[in-house]
């Protein structure tokens, strides 16, 4: 690991790149700004997901103190290994050797992969690691990577969503209560690929939070199968998508985000100032949110195919909802599913 006690600016012709041949970790204390012509390259190994590229940011005093800010004309590359089977559905079993955890389809999941199982009741989502692979559909589980066998705590219903959240391109704060403010400021054609990456404990603070996606004019842009996991302080948006160009987002996963502030959501499309139109979200999941789940405002003509929300609104807030629509119209929901949300 390399530790840098300051921020980093990547200017024209400069590249910050992680070694993909081994596990590579960079820890910084300060903001990361990627200027036009600069490249932030945290791509994970494309053929071996055990080789992890990780960026740890030390926000010294508060959530959102520092940020990652790719600017117009920069290259921001954090895409990682692509799983063959991003998600499955639960069939049976508690995850012990005598009661094997079983899913409904063949997977390419392997030992130490991390999975999240949606809850049959609010607040009953479970995180487990794969301890033993018996077959492409049956597994023994543990609560930590390489740990002892651990059965599921709750009873789960068949067809409950199971998502593999293992990624080998990761960004996380040094202190989980002091998350990083991540803003994509690329609004002109540039190279921005965040697919198959994972962002742990991002800041959700007012004015210092949100993984903000604003690809208004960006052509090369992707957040397919990106995982946003855990709250790093605050109660606002988890991931905010403001976009005016027609595009498809596949496999976005949000787990345990906090959005108790009225007008916020774990996944938010549109804002009062910037609309979100003509987006298609396919196989996207929001699991274990504290309050608001999918929040649409000033959003029109968007399509949601197989959007799933599970074990949400754990706070029991009166304003909480898995899908919250405000000042929107012409949005289409196909084959969507809401499980065990407290209302």
Q: Give residue-wise pLDDT tens across range 276-289.
A: 889 999 999 999 87
The pLDDT of residue 318: 63
Does pLDDT of 308 surpass 70?
Answer: yes
Across the range 35-59, mean pLDDT stands at 95
pTM: 0.92
305: left (phi over 0), alpha (psi -120 to 50) or beta: beta
Q: Give residue-wise pLDDT tens across range 205-240.
A: 665 556 666 655 555 678 899 999 988 777 676 788
Q: How far is CA 291 from CA 125, 142, 304, 308, in A?
A: 14, 28, 20, 15
Does pLDDT of 268 surpass 80?
Answer: yes
Instruction: Please tell me the distance from the alpha carbon of residue 115 to that of residue 93, in angstroms, as a whole number.
Output: 15
Block residue for tokens 């196989």:
283
Q: CB–CB of 293/267 below 8 Å?
A: yes
Instruction: Please tell me the distance from the alpha carbon of residue 23 to that of residue 21, in angstroms, as a whole number.
Output: 7
Cβ burial 30-59 (10 Å sphere, 16+ → b, else e): bbbbbbeebbbbbbbbeeebebbbbbbbbb
- Residue 127 token pair: 């995180």
Across the range 299-327, mean pLDDT stands at 80
Across the range 163-182, mean pLDDT stands at 91
Q: Give residue-wise pLDDT tens across range 89-145.
A: 999 999 999 999 999 999 999 999 999 999 877 788 999 999 999 999 999 999 999
The pLDDT of residue 333: 95
The pLDDT of residue 210: 60
pLDDT band at 325 (very low <50, low <70, confident <90, very high): confident
For the chain, percent of residues with pLDDT exceeding 90? 52
pLDDT band at 43 (very low <50, low <70, confident <90, very high): very high
- Return mean pLDDT, the chain: 87
3-state helix, strand, coil in the chain (%, to 5): 0, 40, 60
Long-range contacts of 130-135 (CB under 8 A, 24+ apart): 132/97, 133/109, 134/100
The pLDDT of residue 247: 84
Does pLDDT of 169 surpass 60?
Answer: yes
Q: How far is CA 21 from CA 27, 47, 50, 158, 226, in A?
A: 19, 10, 10, 40, 22
The pLDDT of residue 208: 52
pLDDT band at 269 (very low <50, low <70, confident <90, very high): confident
Instruction: Please tell me the distance from the alpha carbon of residue 15 to that of residue 150, in angstroms, as a whole number.
Output: 43
pLDDT band at 250 (very low <50, low <70, confident <90, very high): very high
């Amino acid at each position: 690991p390399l530790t840098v006690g300051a921020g980093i600016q990547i200017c024209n012709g400069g590249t910050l790149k992680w070694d993909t041949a081994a596990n590579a970790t960079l820890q910084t204390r300060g903001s990361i700004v990627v200027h036009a012509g600069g490249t932030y390259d945290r791509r994970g190994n494309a053929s071996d997901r055990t080789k992890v590229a990780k960026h740890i940011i030390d926000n010294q005093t508060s959530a959102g103190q520092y940020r990652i800010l790719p600017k117009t004309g920069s290259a921001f590359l954090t895409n990682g290994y692509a799983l063959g089977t991003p998600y499955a559905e639960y069939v049976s079993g508690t995850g012990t050797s005598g009661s094997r955890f079983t899913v409904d389809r063949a997977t390419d999941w392997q030992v130490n992969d991390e999975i999240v199982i949606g809850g049959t009741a609010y607040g009953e989502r479970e995180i487990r690691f794969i301890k033993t692979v018996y077959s492409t559909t049956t597994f023994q589980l543990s609560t930590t990577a390489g740990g002892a066998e651990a059965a599921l705590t709750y009873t789960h219903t068949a067809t409950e969503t199971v998502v593999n959240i293992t990624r080998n391109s990761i960004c996380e704060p040094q202190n989980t209560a002091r998350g990083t403010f991540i803003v994509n400021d690329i609004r002109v054609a540039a190279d921005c690929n965040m697919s198959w990456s994972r962002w742990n404990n991002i800041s959700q603070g007012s004015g210092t939070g949100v993984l903000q996606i604003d690809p208004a004019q960006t052509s090369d842009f992707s957040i397919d199968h990106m995982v946003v996991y855990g709250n790093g302080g605050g109660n606002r948006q988890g991931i905010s998508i403001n976009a005016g160009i027609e595009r498809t987002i596949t496999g976005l996963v949000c787990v345990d985000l906090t959005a108790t502030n009225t007008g916020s959501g774990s996944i938010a499309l549109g804002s009062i100032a910037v609309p979100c139109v003509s987006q298609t979200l396919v196989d996207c999941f929001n699991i274990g949110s504290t309050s608001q789940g999918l929040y649409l405002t000033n959003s029109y003509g968007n399509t949601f195919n197989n959007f799933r929300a599970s074990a949400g609104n754990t706070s029991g807030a009166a304003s909480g909802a898995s899908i919250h629509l405000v000042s929107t119209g012409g949005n289409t929901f196909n084959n969507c599913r809401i499980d065990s949300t407290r209302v």
